[in-house]
Structure 1
Amino acid sequence: MVVNSSGVDSQAGGSQMSNVTRYLSAAAYLDSGFRDRVLGELLFDPYRAVPPSYGGFDVMPVLHHCRRSRSMLLVRDGLITAFFVIGLVMAPLPTIAWLSALLPFVLLTVRAIRRGPLFLRVLIWLWAGYSVFSLFVGLVLVDLGRVLGRMVGGGFTGGSSEALFAAGLGSLVQALVIPVATLGVALVYRFAVYMTLAGSLRPGAPEPVTPAGDDRTGRRLDYLRRAQWGNVTMYDNEDAFMGAGSVRRSWSIAVELDRVRGEAGGERRDEPVDIDPVDLHGFVRERLAEMRDRVLRPNEGIQRLDIGDHVVTRGLFTVADWHRDRKVVAHPFIGQDGLPRFMATPEEIAAIARHPQGGVRYYQRVTINNAGQEIRDLRGNLVAPAEDQEALTSAFIYLAVEGRMLYTQFVVTVLPPAYGPYHVVDRLPTMTGGRIAWESVRMLRLELLRDVLAAPVRVVRAGVQAIRQSAMTPDPRKHIVYPYGAGFSVRQLGADEELQTYIQVLDVNKYTKMIEQRLTEAVLDFLEERGIETGAYRLQAAGVITDNSVNVNVQEGGVFSGAMGVGQNASATVNKRA
């Protein structure tokens, strides 16, 4: 059994980042929740597995920009916190007034308040207006009054009016320096972020060079770089198809293997026909590969079709529960270095396929990346360039010989494009520096004030996390059962909730139909070559491939004739007759 029949989308494709990799790298700067979850998942636990990357996605640039974004954020929050400390020492009243003025604006960014009752939002806006009045009217006018008072008083005492004015103006500047400094740091940070988006993540940008840092981080990065191209998915939750999207369609067919073709139809034999699931998988794989390789014209082939192996296992292992040479050793899917294995050998895959009741399951994976192809006329003139639809359609095929039966399972998953706001990296490179600065402010609005107020909290939280992570270094040797499985897929975390266009929906349906029809015909041909009766398989396949859609005729008296449409994507048409 071939481990991977096509390396088109299974290895890092050169030095240029794919579109979806650029978009999720931008999420590291635009979405703090995304950045924190990615760093916690990939770097905190060095023994945690990573899901495979599909469709040209590379997790390493995303991780690089998440680390870079965190460093930039720490610098920004550290500077803002330092200005607050200086302000509380040198000018406590203006600094406290500035913090109080920020609070209502920050509350308006809370999702529960934004979606809450209108009356509450109106009250908070009134509070915000009063805070602004107190800050810029109360403090500023008081300082101006002091200036004027000192000037008038200086005229009677012989003091210099220019000196009194300078002293009063200095007091006014002292009242405004902390608000201007903290807000200025936040603005400079946002501008630097958007300049990074416009430069390092522009279309066609090369992959960044990821520095290793300390030895522990270097070892983890090296593992992630290799593991994302593996064929083993070790999951910590219920998602055995992690990284491929959500399940959109599934069906299964079970037929007997002890019925062979005869003159009277399917005749039962005492001994079932010998069917090797490994041979069946290889036969199906060749038929599927013909959709890409054996076509009359190059434009008719599905160029972005990738066929590979998908071995799934739950990543909750007893640390030492296997015996070899009378010695207790770790689970076979834990390598010599103590890390989860990410690549199963062809021999192991064949053994897993032949043992359907084992704790590890094998699927043949068929992935189609809707990247599109360019259109040219007969003279070679370009009609339309290739358009990246970003959506990813994957089909997982499970074939098991068990209990004198052949069981066929077909699962389709769909991975939508990256979240819409992350596509801003396609628009920024054409803008001027002034326009980029305006976009950085316009996209944030009240969030800019939230960043200023939350800076000290983020500094404290970062320090606590650093201490906790250094004191709580994961070590499987200290546990009887250790969760090695991956928690989530980075690509799936940054995906939109649904497909973005109806054309993408139609493409998913098209490729699903094509793959399942090719699979069904391949299995039928394989069984017929071995003389097995295929009538039952054809009958079940006719129901699932037509989306379980049937016609139900309701006769007078309430008598139903025909099958009912049930299951996922099922539909039924009811015709009533008088």
Structure 2
Amino acid sequence: MAGVSLPEHPYDRTEATRLLCAGTYQDAAFRRRVIDELVVHQERPVAPPLGVDVLPVLAHAVRITRQESRTAGLMLIAWLGFLLSDVVMFWDSLADRGGMGAEVDLGDVFTAFYLGDDRLTAGMPMPWSQFYAFVALGLWFAHTMRAQDTDGGQAGLSAPVAKAAAGLGLVVTVCATLFAVFYWCWFLAGVLDGDVQTPYPLLFPLLIALIAWWHETNRRRALCRWLSRWTFRTTPQPELPAGPLYEDLVASISREQTAALTLYEPDSPFVGMGSPRRAWSFAMELRKRSAPPNGSDAPDTGSLSPSPDGSLIPHQNHGPLTAEGALAMIEPQLVRLRESAALTGKDRLRELEVDRFVYLPGGVGRDELLRLGGSADAHAVPADGQHDGDGRTVYDPAQVAAHLTEAVDEGGEGRRVFLRVRIGAWHEQVVVTVLVRVHTQGGMLVMEVVPYVLGPVRKDFRSVDALVERLPENWARGAVRALGHGPATGVSTALGALGTLIREIGTGWSDREADPDVPRVSLRQLACTTDLSPYQEMDVTRYIKTVQERIVNGMREALQSHGYRTDQFEQHVYQLSGGSVFVQDMSGGAVATGSHGSATAHGNAPASANGTPPRTGA
């Protein structure tokens, strides 16, 4: 049966998407989180995409989960066979000891398990299947402890605690390895002494290793086929399973990832944006420039602005400045920045993205029908609960366009429109996002600029390339690896399959009409680190400062073109860029800035050249 194909998306072939897909094979906890967020919580929209398409990530997570379930089924058959062999051997041994006509039941067999039979277990007071089960649990626990020693495993731990955890993981690994060696030494000693005359304590561990080898081979073959850096951009990614569940999910997620809108919780509105950087804002009164004196032939240089050739041209007054007018002047500045970067070099600014984005308070479902247009509360469900012919889902393009049109100048507290500037640097490993909002109510201009930085994908996810380069491996190395990892693979796949079964039951019995929710987790941010290299930090600083400078230029042009004075605006820009204090009028006293600044007032301090008192500071 054909599955559900994935729609195209601008970020479906990015490096970040590839690494998150690989992460579903590398980290079982991340794989389970992907399915929990996207499948189990069907009432929860996805966070705005920042260089990642989550649908291929979900497809790979579902694929490896199903592969894990098949492996767990084979492992279960092998372990049942192992246990059954113990039962049969002990049953026969008890029957031989009791002679003809002796009655043996399961209670007698399980009692004999722990008596230390010399002819079956060489005196070990437990059956071989249980002995090897302890070996498997020990190796699995050691593997889990080692897995914690990754970029994401010890996040938030202090250095001494992380070091102690790494040391504990090493101790557990050594102990588990010694216990596995003890099993094989005990078995070989029993064979050499003639106490162990059956091969099943050897055959079943080899069968478990063979199943683990098959599982690992399929996993590595998938990485080579779909997720290597050479094949990912051209190879169609796996489909999702057929059925209404995944058909609805693909439609909803695709719609949410392409819409210029998201729902939010007031406590955490910017889900998925990363770590905030220093935000800045200013407020100023909008004051018109005074007209030239009557009869004067001198041009009003305050109403002129420089043209591209350096000459001064008069401004045109288009009426009161609005937020829409301000953003309309800022956007061309950013577009020209992108075009200039594309013409002059390979700077990532050539891929700068500029769009407008709406944030709506939560309270409606991802597929809930809404009445289009209306008021500041256009996102609210009609009070009568009915929907007319103009009903739209919250992510419908017409609904989003209505929000963008209505909310840009309203200055509301709930529904907010931002100018969003995004730069995906270092192959989408470092994402810089700058949000801009403008208010022009009450004769005041208020601008808010909030930068965010999303760090690189976890290092263990990026190690997929080193793994693929070592493939294909020779059979001897693969066999040794499978023999060592087989017991741990059996336990991990069993736990994963059990969790999958519980999720399937919970999803089947859950209420599909769950309460509406908002994006809670970004898979991209869940898989990222906060550590930037020195070069990455330099680039982030440069991108933010460059974008902010273009925003300032656009706002300056907006003020000039609408006939407003810009002197107060220039003061704010100077304060924010230089970190100093601009003093316009001052009579006596002194000003000092900086943590070690000092100033002394003098009665005969000279005035500056323009007649205003000088600024002093450290």
TM-score, length of structure 2 as denominator length: 0.71
More strand by share: 1
Greater mean alpha carbon deviation, residues 448-457 or residues 72-81: 448-457
The 1-side partners of 2:402 and 2:206 are apart by 66
The 2-side partners of 1:417 and 1:119 are apart by 27
Match of 1:24, SS? helix
Residues 364 and 398, structure 1, Cα contact 8 Å, conserved in 2: yes
The 2-side partners of 1:561 and 1:447 are apart by 70
Given the superposition, is the C-alpha separation of residues 44 and 545 from structure 1 closer, same or farther in structure 2, using an over 3 Å criterion?
same
4+ residue stretches of structure 1 with deviation over 6 A? Answer: 117-123, 318-321, 439-442, 444-447
Counterpart of 1:494 in structure 2 is 527
Greater mean alpha carbon deviation, residues 415-424 or residues 429-438: 429-438
The 2-side partners of 1:116 and 1:99 are apart by 28
Q: Which residue identity lines up with residue 505 of structure 2 in the other structure? A: I
The 2-side partners of 1:102 and 1:438 are apart by 20
Match of 2:356, SS? strand
Counterpart of 1:86 in structure 2 is 81
1:530 to 2:562 alignment: yes
1:353 to 2:408 alignment: yes
Per-residue deviation, 1:213: 1.2
The 1-side partners of 2:184 and 2:255 are apart by 57
Counterpart of 2:438 in structure 1 is 399
Work out which of the residue numbers 7, 12, 26 in structure 1 matches 2:9.
12
Counterpart of 2:338 in structure 1 is 292
Q: Which residue identity lines up with residue 414 of structure 1 in the other structure? A: V
Per-residue deviation, 1:24: 1.0
Count of aligned positions: 497
Counterpart of 1:65 in structure 2 is 60
Q: Which residue identity lines up with residue 197 of structure 1 in the other structure? A: L
Match of 1:561, SS? coil
1:38 to 2:77 alignment: no
Per-residue deviation, 1:411: 1.0
Cα displacement string for residues 75-101 of structure 1 (whole angstroms, at most 9, x for unaligned residues): 112211221122112225111000122
Given the superposition, is the C-alpha separation of residues 495 and 353 from structure 1 closer, same or farther in structure 2, using an over 3 Å criterion?
same
Per-residue deviation, 1:497: 2.5
Q: List alignment gaps of at least 5 residues for structure 2.
A: 1-6, 88-126, 149-153, 155-160, 294-301, 303-318, 371-378, 583-588, 601-618
Q: List alignment gaps of at least 5 residues for structure 1.
A: 1-9, 148-167, 267-272, 372-387, 477-481, 552-558, 565-571
Work out which of the residue numbers 352, 362, 366 in structure 2 matches 1:305.
352
Q: Which residue identity lines up with residue 307 of structure 1 in the other structure? A: V
Given the superposition, is the C-alpha separation of residues 496 and 125 from structure 1 closer, same or farther in structure 2, using an over 3 Å criterion?
closer
Residues 88 and 95, structure 1, Cα contact 8 Å, conserved in 2: yes
The 2-side partners of 1:255 and 1:82 are apart by 74
Q: Which residue identity lines up with residue 466 of structure 2 in the other structure? A: R
Residues 60 and 224, structure 1, Cα contact 8 Å, conserved in 2: yes
Q: Which residue identity lines up with residue 567 of structure 2 in the other structure? A: G
Given the superposition, is the C-alpha separation of residues 211 and 129 from structure 1 closer, same or farther in structure 2, using an over 3 Å criterion?
closer
Residues 16 and 428, structure 2, Cα contact 8 Å, conserved in 1: no
Given the superposition, is the C-alpha separation of residues 252 and 122 from structure 1 closer, same or farther in structure 2, using an over 3 Å criterion?
closer
Cα displacement string for residues 295-335 of structure 1 (whole angstroms, at most 9, x for unaligned residues): 794538832011111111232349899575x7235899x97
Work out which of the residue numbers 475, 485, 498 in structure 2 matches 1:460.
498
1:279 to 2:325 alignment: yes
Following superposition of structure 1 onto structure 2, how do residues 105-504 of structure 1 map, counting pairs within 5 Å? 105-108=139-142, 109-110=144-145, 111=148, 116=164, 128=176, 131-132=179-180, 134-146=182-194, 169=197, 171=198, 173-204=199-230, 205=232, 206-236=235-265, 238-258=267-287, 260-261=289-290, 274-293=320-339, 297-299=343-345, 302-317=349-364, 324=382, 327-329=384-386, 336=392, 344-370=399-425, 388=427, 390-434=429-473, 449-476=487-514, 482-499=515-532, 501-504=533-536
Residues 365 and 395, structure 1, Cα contact 8 Å, conserved in 2: yes
Greater mean alpha carbon deviation, residues 223-232 or residues 516-525: 223-232
TM-score, length of structure 1 as denominator length: 0.75
Cα displacement string for residues 346-376 of structure 1 (whole angstroms, at most 9, x for unaligned residues): 34212111111241111011112225xxxxx
Per-residue deviation, 1:179: 1.9
Given the superposition, is the C-alpha separation of residues 515 and 134 from structure 1 closer, same or farther in structure 2, using an over 3 Å criterion?
closer
Match of 1:39, SS? helix
Match of 2:407, SS? helix
Counterpart of 1:157 in structure 2 is none
Counterpart of 2:131 in structure 1 is 97
Percent identity (aligned):
19
Q: Which residue identity lines up with residue 278 of structure 1 in the other structure? A: E
Cα displacement string for residues 374-401 of structure 1 (whole angstroms, at most 9, x for unaligned residues): xxxxxxxxxxxxxx36322111111112
Q: Which residue identity lines up with residue 563 of structure 1 in the other structure? A: T
Residues 233 and 311, structure 1, Cα contact 8 Å, conserved in 2: yes
